[in-house]
Amino acid sequence: MSGCPVAPPTQRFAQRMTQCVLRGYSVLAFTFLLLPIAIIIPMSFSNQPYLGFPPPGWTLHWYEAVRDQPRWLAATINSFCIGIPTALLAVVFGTLAALGMARGDVRFRKFLLLMVMAPMMLPHVIIAIGLYPTLVDMRLHDSYAAVIVGHTVIGIPLVFITVTASLRSYPASLDLAARTLGAGAWKAFRRVTLPMIWVGIVSGGLLAFATSFDELMLALFLTSPGTETLPRLIWDQLSFALTPALAAVATLILILSMLLQGLAVYLGVRRSVAKRAMP
Amino acid sequence: MSDTKGFAKLQFAGVAKRYGEVVALHPTDLVIQPGEFFALLGPSGSGKTTLLGMAAGFVSPSEGSILVNGQDITRMPPERRNVGMVFQNYSLFPFLTVAANVAFPLEMRRHPKAEIAPRVRQLLAMVRLEHLADRLPAALSGGQQQRVALARAAVYNPSVLLMDEPLGALDKNLREEMQDEIKRFHAEFGATVIYVTHDQQEAAFMADRIAILNHGRIEQAGPQSELYARPNNAFVAGFLGEANLLRVTACAAGEPGSRSVTTQEGLRLVVPQTSRTGQIACIRPADVTLSPAPLCYANTYLGTVVDLVHAADSIRYRVQLNDRCQISVRATSRRCDARFERGQQVYAQWQPEDVLLMDN
């Protein structure tokens, strides 16, 4: 727009119209995407014993029900006990893979890249079918380890992507400079590479945690009653009682997800501000 | 300030690098003397960066070895080699201040804290940046950042200082200023320097000796004056300075004390009796004298000015000698008492010694 300050009035009118239409279209699209999520919140305060919209009256009863039902609390703790180790493992393996692929002298790079990214493209049910009998054989199917292994597999590509992006955001000669200046491989990583890529590592870890926290398919196969996660419990409850308690749980998960998202975005913004200061 | 640790002899003994079928560097021997400022000059892909990477420890040679003061460092990791490296993109650590960047190598070497601060100040003073010690690199100009990089690479008295096109990212005026700065720094600091560049003027201005590389080979190495006066081949003659290159088709003995060669274009050139043989004859544009009437030169040709371009300190003429041969002539202001117009007939002339014979 600023590129053509002397555009004739008709052209300016056309431009403005186009902009209005585009803006309207974007608003509609976002509404369509977000409305189902937004509807969950009022439904969780409904005074009816079933899920419905709009609710005729309001109550906090369903939140109390969730609080008083120990199964929900146990599932929440399970989700954290699975999500946190998953995020840590995915960070270790994903970061190592990204470093190797970005900086290392790797043969068959394209093939390896495909292998690292495969868990993101593959349907989770296929990963689950593959893991289930193996973990049963190893007598791990009743433990946290089973689902942590599964979730780590799908978390690695997420960390790989964010860390690779960080590694590409600065020239490799920075790492080489550290080496010539007397830092061994590990010291160069700790003193130079890590400060350059920690935002990528943390965002990747948050993504891996959030994915594990939301994931249902692997959880169906790989958790037992003792290790069931929140999504799995929601799924079980759905099949016999569609009460607003489910909406209450969903609302709580939504708030947590948004906090994590906000944190990741905040880190990303801080980094891009820092980068703008560094031409 | 001259620290004897700063003087090291660097030796490449038959080093070569192959990536599968691709040869980045053919087997190469090169000795760089203690305290020497040595330039690797060549077009991109000529192998100069490979050679530098081998000295730094980033590239491991497919064969051959690298020695510093006689000690084999071929398999030594970069951090133990005690070399300093200055990169084209500066490669300062963006999250550390200027002073912390310069202190980094000293910390890596576990120098006592009390020694680090004064040493950092001393080096920043040498590159005249003491007043910016607490800034982050992003707040500095390109030239300032490169001076910090120089201080950081030199602060621990590396045995060899490697520079990979350090001025490539700077604009022309700043580049010339930094050339002076680096030369002054070298004179004061006295380290052995390998300086990679593709700019022949920069190499000629800064280096004690130059190696000209092409297609993964050193074509010729020596002081700039020698490369200019006695180029081994057409590539060296053309890369270092301007050259009219003519293909030789026949040699014949001439008058006593001289010989002559005939070129593809049908010119008969008188050359000194003592000169070597070769397939290419080179005449430097600056060695040709133009005059309206013939002077007393052994090589004198009547030609026509077909084009001329005024440069800051000289005029460049294109002179047609016969229907197959045009040559460039550079007349410096001092020598061009007479000026010539397009289409004017002139005598182009030069001495037998001005004809350099060389391989193709």
- Tell which of B236, B261, B284 closes a domain: B236
**pLDDT for B120:** 95
User: Is the pLDDT score of B221 beyond 70?
Assistant: yes
Mean pLDDT to the nearest integer, A76-82: 94
pLDDT in tens, B67-89: 999 999 999 999 999 999 999 99
The verdict on B128 and B58 lying in the same domain is: yes
Considering only the beta carbons, identify the residue of B87, B109, B136 that sits closest to A177: B87
Chain A and chain B share a number of CB contacts under 8 A equal to 71
Question: Where does A169-229 have alpha helices with state H?
Answer: 173-180, 185-188, 194-214, 217-222
From chain B, the residues in CB contact with A278 under 8 A are 94, 136-138
**pLDDT for A6:** 60
Mean pLDDT to the nearest integer, B266-278: 83
Mean pLDDT to the nearest integer, B236-253: 86
Q: What's the token pair of residue B20?
A: 């599968």
**pLDDT for A279:** 40
Please answer yes or no on whether B79 and A181 come within 8 Å at the CB atom: yes
Considering only the beta carbons, identify the residue of A173, A187, A191 that sits closest to B91: A173
The verdict on B76 and B203 lying in the same domain is: yes
The verdict on B214 and B296 lying in the same domain is: no
Please answer yes or no on whether B91 and A174 come within 8 Å at the CB atom: yes
The verdict on B93 and B113 lying in the same domain is: yes
**pLDDT for A274:** 58
What b/e sequence results for B58-70 when a residue is b if at least 16 CB atoms lie within 10 Å of its CB, and e otherwise?
bbebeebebbbee
Nearest to B255 by CA among B273, B280, B274: B273
In this prediction the pTM is 0.80
| Whole-number Å distance between alpha carbons of B88 and A259 | 42
Is the Cβ–Cβ distance between B238 and B245 less than 8 Å? Answer: yes
The number of domains in chain B is 2
From chain B, the residues in CB contact with A192 under 8 A are 93
The verdict on B310 and B207 lying in the same domain is: no
Q: What's the token pair of residue A82?
A: 């699975």
The verdict on B196 and B322 lying in the same domain is: no
Q: In which domain, by residue range, is B278 found?
A: 242-358
Cβ neighbors of B18 (< 8 A, separation 6 or more) are B24, B62
Is the Cβ–Cβ distance between A268 and A276 less than 8 Å? Answer: no
Nearest to B264 by CA among B285, B242, B279: B279
**pLDDT for A275:** 55
Work out the minimum CA distance from A261 to partner chain B, whole angstroms: 26
**pLDDT for B257:** 64
pLDDT in tens, A178-232: 999 999 999 999 999 999 999 999 999 999 999 999 899 999 999 988 899 999 9
CA-based end-to-end distance of chain B: 47
Please answer yes or no on whether B95 and A196 come within 8 Å at the CB atom: yes
Considering only the beta carbons, identify the residue of A171, A191, A278 that sits closest to B91: A171
**pLDDT for B1:** 39
User: Is the pLDDT score of B49 beyond 60?
Assistant: yes
Which CATH number do you get for residue B89? 3.40.50.300
Mean pLDDT to the nearest integer, B111-140: 92
| Whole-number Å distance between alpha carbons of A164 and A19 | 36
pLDDT in tens, B151-197: 999 999 898 999 999 998 888 888 888 899 899 888 888 889 999 99
The verdict on B257 and B112 lying in the same domain is: no
- Tell which of B219, B236, B253 closes a domain: B236
The verdict on B12 and B107 lying in the same domain is: yes
- Tell which of B236, B257, B290 closes a domain: B236
The verdict on B39 and B141 lying in the same domain is: yes
pLDDT in tens, A222-266: 998 889 999 999 999 888 778 888 899 999 988 988 888 888 888
**pLDDT for A272:** 63
Cβ neighbors of B138 (< 8 A, separation 6 or more) are A277, A278, A279, B94
The verdict on B231 and B273 lying in the same domain is: no
